[in-house]
Chain A
Amino acid sequence: MSRPILLRGGRVIDPSQGIDGQQDVLLADGSVEACGRGLGAPDGAEILDCAGMIVSPGFIDVHCHLREPGREDVETVATGARAAAAGGFTALCAMPNTDPVTDNQAAVGFIIRQAQRAKAARVHPIGAISLGQRGEALAEFGEMIGAGAVAVSDDGRPVVSAQLMRTALEYARTFNIPVIDHCEEPTLSHGGAMNEGIVSARLGLKGIPSEAEEIMVIRDILLARRTKGHVHLAHMSTAGSVDLIRWGKERGINVTAEVCPHHLTLTEDRVGAYDTNAKMNPPLRTAADVAALRDAVADGTIDLIATDHAPHHYDEKEQEFANAPNGIVGLETALALVHTNLVAGGVMDYARMVECMSCAPARVFHIPGGTLSRGAVADVTVFDPKAEWIVDPATFLSKGRNTPYAGERVRGRAIFTIVDGEIVHTMANTTR
């Protein structure tokens, strides 16, 4: 068994218990032993000086693409889990759009075994909704959950058939898991490369209208009302979606939603002169959308923040804009972007940040963590809110380098990432 760890003198923020104050946290035998003032260090304990740091339940990213199996050249479970740890995440959920698709228990088991070997962040697989993500026949939810999956999604592809979505929401109730949808009406978005608006019109790029997302958002909310299933809406990007989610929640419909750091910080203008690192799906939208998403994540309409970490090979992004693949890496920038833009930017306080990046992900996906209550898993994120750094993709542990934030000065950095009572990442010696 590992040595106990005493996190001494940090500002502990744990919204699950209403804690915000200078305290110590003691971890032993893979669990949180105690939280409080002036805790003594047991024999042999490792003492980590956390003065000036924020100590919180470990951050959980419920939306990542780890590319293994199939595209191990751009990311593996191990590199993704290490990138997550470096970014302050103690756990992540891996989307099933691998090759072959993670649509059966053996495939789920493979990802779990790869993650165990990596000894970094925990990896919770998400199974496919439909076999091969083809949108036709349901995958075996029960078998996949039994093997360790925590949710189902055809992410990367929308669930086109309303009937399939309805069935998935109904069938998932037995297993008490969320059905995650990538909301995109494909006939409206077909061929689109960025947000539809004046910028797409100027650049001569086919646009993706906000309605392509919103039509599916309201469809899913209505189906959740009908079925009483739990629908989780991935990477929300428009002000209209926010209104629809609010409408659904006001009526007690079982809908939860996530937003990505890039949709909270960048607009369609970032595409600039056809920068493929600003190409993602859903696309970067307008300043009004960013403002609505910020309000929504602050007031709880949007439950949580997830990265949609999507590594791509350098050559794939080095193409004509319309041909380049969608997506950016996010695991190693999310904490700093949220801290810099939303907390320091006055949109939310630390408690809300920890809620969105730790407590809510654990609660919504029914996975361990999200709290420092006694007996909880010893997953802790310690970050220095004053650490200033410049985003340099060359230093990423992810194999992906595709980020629109290269060169950006940000504030806030994970100093210790602790998973199951083990330090899986530390910056303590390099920054101080």
Chain B
Amino acid sequence: MISALGKDLLGLEPLSSEQIKLILDTAEPFKEISERAIKKVPTLRGSTIVNLFFENSTRTRISFEFAEKRLSADPVNVSSAGSSVSKGETLVDTARNLEAMRIDMVVIRHGSSGAAQFLADRIKSNVINAGDGMHEHPTQGLLDLLTLRDHFGDLAGKRVCVCGDVLHSRVARSNIWGLRKMGVEVAVCGPRSLMPNAIEEFGVTVFDHIEDAIEWADALNVLRLQIERMTGGYIPSLREYNRVFGVTRERLARAPRDVLILHPGPMNRGVEIDSDVADGEHSVILDQVTNGIAVRMAVLYLLSGGNPALAESAKAAGR
């Protein structure tokens, strides 16, 4: 059965605004399940799901696993270390072996852009992209959208600036697509050496100064600055990065309005974001983590062919 989202969730770029709204709306009733004493509904009972993680991940992997277990699916975790992958098995062989085990879904995290698409093209199971190289991380984009919607209500016309290493960031790409489709005005801010050369063609505003971005924005989504970017020669030092682009309380204090702060984690406190901002009253960083489970439950539910209109009753069935 082809779901309302199609067979796979590979990115937000191919989704329509209606599909994104559907996922967010479907996530709403699932939020409540995680607040119960017994956090489980039988919706995906009998479904087998492989969480295939070729890159290290804590937050995303655990979030998917909770989402799966709270829907009563049977998840299996595979990480590249200690699996056949570390013995030199190719991705296509891994895919075929999984298929032969008659699984229902694969959640894949991989260091190569396009790896999720590669897998989706070769197996019949549903594929969910949990981050592929520098391409997309759609469930992160969705949980950012849900968090923003929780806060602002209507997203249309709001202004969100994605700050930091846009060049290497799959979170940035999923945010840009998702936000724009939901009618949000999107900007990016960071050193030009960490921006794609063709960034303007994404339909975003580019700020070279974080002060200008803060003055403009209703919310900042502050990306993690990976330490490798310094050794890779993209920026001279983390200290200077914080000096020039860091999101600090002093800079936020000069904003004409309260600016909501998001961060996909894990944070480098004192580099891209100062602790008093991360822990401050406008930070929704932990709300993002909570919403991550509801969004992933919604995606799993919809891809498995779940009727969007019945999400409420799926929730009720757990009572």
Question: Which residues of A line the B interface, CB within 8 A?
Answer: 196-198, 200-207, 209, 273-274, 315, 318-323
Contact A204 B134, beta carbon cutoff 8 Å = yes
Q: How distant is the Cα of A172 from the Cα of B19 in the complex, in angstroms?
A: 63
Q: What is the CB-to-nearest-CB distance from A252 to chain B, in angstroms, rounded to a whole number?
A: 35
Contact A202 B197, beta carbon cutoff 8 Å = no
Once A274-B118, A320-B118 are accepted as A-B contacts, the answer to whether A204 and B113 lie under 8 Å apart by CB is yes
Q: How distant is the Cα of A322 from the Cα of B134 in the complex, in angstroms?
A: 11
Q: How distant is the Cα of A315 from the Cα of B134 in the complex, in angstroms?
A: 24
- Of B91, B110, B117, the most chain A CB neighbours within 10 A belong to B117
Once A319-B91, A323-B112 are accepted as A-B contacts, the answer to whether A197 and B198 lie under 8 Å apart by CB is yes
Q: How distant is the Cα of A319 from the Cα of B113 in the complex, in angstroms?
A: 11
Chain A residues with CB below 8 A from B112, complex form: 320-323
Query: A201-B197, A201-B202, A321-B113 provided; 7 other pairs, C-beta below 8 A?
Result: A197-B197, A203-B135, A204-B134, A274-B113, A315-B90, A318-B92, A320-B112
Q: How distant is the Cα of A205 from the Cα of B114 in the complex, in angstroms?
A: 9
| Residues of chain B in range 161-189 having any CB-CB distance to chain A below 8 Å | 170, 173
Once A273-B114, A274-B113, A320-B115 are accepted as A-B contacts, the answer to whether A204 and B136 lie under 8 Å apart by CB is yes
Contact B132 A198, beta carbon cutoff 8 Å = no
In the complex, whether B13 has a CB less than 8 A from a CB of chain A is yes
Pairs across A and B, CB under 8 Å, 8 listed: A196-B198, A200-B196, A205-B133, A206-B134, A207-B197, A320-B112, A320-B118, A323-B112
| Residues of chain B in range 93-121 having any CB-CB distance to chain A below 8 Å | 110, 112-115, 117-118, 121
Chain B residues with CB below 8 A from A206, complex form: 134
Interface of chain B, main secondary structure: mixed
Chain B residues with CB below 8 A from A321, complex form: 112-114, 118
Q: Which 9 A-B pairs have the closest CB atoms?
A: A204-B135, A274-B114, A204-B134, A320-B112, A201-B196, A204-B113, A198-B198, A198-B201, A321-B114
In the complex, whether B2 has a CB less than 8 A from a CB of chain A is no
Q: How distant is the Cα of A200 from the Cα of B167 in the complex, in angstroms?
A: 11
Nearest-CB residue, chain A, relative to B13 = A202
8 Å CB contact of B198 from A201, A205, A323: A201
Q: How distant is the Cα of A387 from the Cα of B197 in the complex, in angstroms?
A: 44
In the complex, whether B76 has a CB less than 8 A from a CB of chain A is no
8 Å CB contact of B133 from A198, A273, A322: A322
Chain A residues with CB below 8 A from B317, complex form: none
Chain A residues with CB below 8 A from B133, complex form: 204-205, 322
Q: How distant is the Cα of A55 from the Cα of B35 in the complex, in angstroms?
A: 80
Nearest-CB residue, chain A, relative to B169 = A204
- Flag B289-310 by CB within 8 Å of A: 1 or 0 each: 0000000000000000000000
Q: How distant is the Cα of A320 from the Cα of B198 in the complex, in angstroms?
A: 24
In the complex, whether B199 has a CB less than 8 A from a CB of chain A is yes
Contact A274 B117, beta carbon cutoff 8 Å = yes
8 Å CB contact of A203 from B91, B92, B113: B113
Q: What is the CB-to-nearest-CB distance from B135 to chain A, in angstroms, rounded to a whole number?
A: 3
Chain A residues with CB below 8 A from B114, complex form: 203-205, 273-274, 320-322
Contact A204 B198, beta carbon cutoff 8 Å = no
Q: What is the CB-to-nearest-CB distance from B33 to chain A, in angstroms, rounded to a whole number?
A: 33
Contact B92 A204, beta carbon cutoff 8 Å = no
Q: What is the CB-to-nearest-CB distance from B188 to chain A, in angstroms, rounded to a whole number?
A: 12
Q: What is the CB-to-nearest-CB distance from B246 to chain A, in angstroms, rounded to a whole number?
A: 25
Nearest-CB residue, chain B, relative to A206 = B134
| Residues of chain B in range 183-235 having any CB-CB distance to chain A below 8 Å | 196-199, 201-202
Nearest-CB residue, chain A, relative to B136 = A204
- Flag B126-158 by CB within 8 Å of A: 1 or 0 each: 000000111110000000000000000000000
Once A320-B110, A322-B112, A322-B113 are accepted as A-B contacts, the answer to whether A201 and B118 lie under 8 Å apart by CB is no
Q: What is the CB-to-nearest-CB distance from A265 to chain B, in angstroms, rounded to a whole number?
A: 23
Chain B residues with CB below 8 A from A197, complex form: 197-198
Once A273-B121, A319-B91, A320-B115 are accepted as A-B contacts, the answer to whether A201 and B135 lie under 8 Å apart by CB is no
Q: What is the CB-to-nearest-CB distance from B129 to chain A, in angstroms, rounded to a whole number?
A: 11
Q: How distant is the Cα of A362 from the Cα of B26 in the complex, in angstroms?
A: 67
Chain B residues with CB below 8 A from A318, complex form: 90, 92
Chain B residues with CB below 8 A from A201, complex form: 196-199, 201-202
Contact B90 A319, beta carbon cutoff 8 Å = yes
- Flag B239-273 by CB within 8 Å of A: 1 or 0 each: 00000000000000000000000000000000000
Q: How distant is the Cα of A59 from the Cα of B152 in the complex, in angstroms?
A: 67
Q: How distant is the Cα of A200 from the Cα of B199 in the complex, in angstroms?
A: 11
Q: What is the CB-to-nearest-CB distance from B181 to chain A, in angstroms, rounded to a whole number?
A: 14
Q: What is the CB-to-nearest-CB distance from A325 to chain B, in angstroms, rounded to a whole number?
A: 14
Q: How distant is the Cα of A197 from the Cα of B201 in the complex, in angstroms?
A: 9
Q: How distant is the Cα of A389 from the Cα of B121 in the complex, in angstroms?
A: 28
Q: What is the CB-to-nearest-CB distance from A278 to chain B, in angstroms, rounded to a whole number?
A: 12
Chain B residues with CB below 8 A from A196, complex form: 197-198
8 Å CB contact of A204 from B118, B132, B202: B132
Contact A209 B115, beta carbon cutoff 8 Å = no
Q: What is the CB-to-nearest-CB distance from A374 to chain B, in angstroms, rounded to a whole number?
A: 56
Q: How distant is the Cα of A320 from the Cα of B90 in the complex, in angstroms?
A: 9
Chain A residues with CB below 8 A from B92, complex form: 318-319
Chain A residues with CB below 8 A from B135, complex form: 203-205
Q: How distant is the Cα of A305 from the Cα of B194 in the complex, in angstroms?
A: 38
Q: How distant is the Cα of A315 from the Cα of B90 in the complex, in angstroms?
A: 9
Q: How distant is the Cα of A318 from the Cα of B90 in the complex, in angstroms?
A: 9
Q: What is the CB-to-nearest-CB distance from B107 to chain A, in angstroms, rounded to a whole number?
A: 17
Contact A205 B134, beta carbon cutoff 8 Å = yes
Chain A residues with CB below 8 A from B132, complex form: 204
Q: What is the CB-to-nearest-CB distance from A116 to chain B, in angstroms, rounded to a whole number?
A: 39
Q: How distant is the Cα of A40 from the Cα of B197 in the complex, in angstroms?
A: 66
Q: How distant is the Cα of A296 from the Cα of B146 in the complex, in angstroms?
A: 52
Chain A residues with CB below 8 A from B198, complex form: 196-198, 200-201
Q: How distant is the Cα of A319 from the Cα of B173 in the complex, in angstroms?
A: 23
Q: How distant is the Cα of A201 from the Cα of B197 in the complex, in angstroms?
A: 8
Chain B residues with CB below 8 A from A202, complex form: 13, 173, 202
Once A196-B197, A198-B198, A209-B197 are accepted as A-B contacts, the answer to whether A204 and B173 lie under 8 Å apart by CB is yes
Chain A residues with CB below 8 A from B115, complex form: 320
Nearest-CB residue, chain B, relative to A207 = B197
Q: How distant is the Cα of A205 from the Cα of B202 in the complex, in angstroms?
A: 15
Q: How distant is the Cα of A209 from the Cα of B198 in the complex, in angstroms?
A: 11
